[in-house]
Amino acid sequence: MSFIRRFSICVALLLCCTFFVSAIPGVESKVDFPGTFVYYRDYTYEDETYIGFLQYDAGTYALRYFSPDAKKGAKTIELYITCDTTKDTVEMTGEKIVGEITNIDVETLNYLHDLFYELAKRRKSLPSKCDQTVRSAEDYLQFGGEVLINYEPYIPMFGVRSILSKDKQPLFKLAYIGILNEGSEFTDFRGLVNPQDVEAQSISIKKYAKSKKVAVETYEFALDDQWQSDGSPSAVQTWWLNNSENEPVAMISPYFVNFPPEEKTAVEQLKLISLISQSDSCIDFDSLAISENGKRIQISAKMNQPDKVVRSITTFYKISETEYFALAFSADEQVYSKNERYFKKIIDSAKAKGR
């Protein structure tokens, strides 16, 4: 996926983030809204296997088992369930299985049920307004006994980032966060993206090229003349850095984010939208770094695409309780790693006018 397509999708998602419903009965989550879904790599299976959870609306969910190279049983099992929205615990009121299953798949079907109930119960046992990272040592029979569950408030549904064994080996690990839209559907997920035939990228950067301030309403940042603006008359303008073949290897786009006055969970929503993946790219969650320093939040991660690895860094500057200035940066990982100091200087140059 191109830099700009991903950026445009993230901006559009901001318009969706105010339509909240409680994903888990009895839990007041900070990021859940209809259409978000998560996939986990389930390492308890011998074959490469993923388990997905999707929330359609209040009380309606989809669960999916996906094992592309399964040697026995179905490669995909999808289950729709409804729950009683008047209860503060999971009480299933109906279910529908998509497609044909055989007796050999019954165990997998039961496993999906058990996961949904158990993960919901464990999330509910945490403080409802979970504002921070939680590392919880728990006894979990389905995963062999004593485990360490890592919770993050910006992850949809159960807030689970990973489940590790007693000796810190991965058992159940976040692989993908998505949202239902024209370019990404729950059933489209085909496993993690592993870049193939990555071509070496190089670019000659003038280490001491003179930079100038670029003003965007009440904020500004510094760019040198190697960057080219797309000249867009819209509110979101993009600057590109090209290689010797005139192909883009880096981009920067500034924009403003506004939340309604009653919104109280802006920070976690900003983190979530920065981590939404699309069908032709996948966040490398092992590379994810989130830093919060006063009124500044920065989310950095690698994005795996079929033919490249992209470094994505989005920095949010708090203007008020409901408004942020954002600077979105993306670059070919090879170009970024060779010129990290150069790019960081640009990224860190953003500031409010007059400061």
Quick: pLDDT tens for 54-86. Answer: 988 878 899 999 999 998 899 999 999 988 878
Which residue ranges does the chain devote to CATH 3.40.1000.10? Answer: 206-352
% the chain with pLDDT above 90? 52
Q: Does position 1 have pLDDT exceeding 80, yes or no?
A: no
The average pLDDT across 90-108 equals 89
| 237 pLDDT more than 50 | yes
pLDDT for the residue 129: 57
User: Which homologous superfamily does the CATH classification assign to the domain defined by 206-352?
Assistant: Mog1/PsbP, alpha/beta/alpha sandwich (3.40.1000.10)
Closest CA to 109 of 144, 68, 79: 79
pLDDT band at 135 (very low <50, low <70, confident <90, very high): very high
Q: Name the residue with tokens 């033919």.
A: 307
Band of residue 309 on the pLDDT scale cut at 50, 70, 90:
very high
Helix (H, G, I), strand (E, B), or coil: what is residue 9?
A: helix
What is the band of 321 on the pLDDT scale with cuts at 50, 70, 90? Answer: confident
State the pLDDT at residue 68.
93
Classify 7 as helix, strand or coil.
Answer: helix
Residue 230 has pLDDT above 90, yes or no: no
Nearest of 68, 300, 328, 337 to residue 198 by alpha carbon: 337
Which of 231, 176, 243 is closest to 41 using CA atoms?
176
Which residues lie below 8 Å from residue 164, measured CB to CB, with a gap of 6+?
Answer: 147, 148, 149, 150, 170, 171
Integer Cα distance of 92 and 81 in angstroms:
7
The percent of residues in the chain predicted with pLDDT above 70, rounded, is 87
Q: Is 180 or 40 the better-scoring residue by pLDDT?
A: 40
pTM of the model: 0.89
87 to each of 34, 90, 255, how far by Cα in Å? 19, 7, 41
- Digit-coded pLDDT (tens) for 174-225: 999 998 887 778 998 989 988 887 777 778 777 667 888 998 899 999 999 8
C-alpha distance from residue 82 to each of 36, 53, 95, 105 (Å) = 16, 13, 6, 21
Please, what is the end-to-end C-alpha distance for the chain in angstroms? Answer: 36
d(Cα 98, Cα 76) in Å, to the nearest integer? 9
Average the pLDDT over 285-311 and give the result: 93
pLDDT at 7 over 70: no
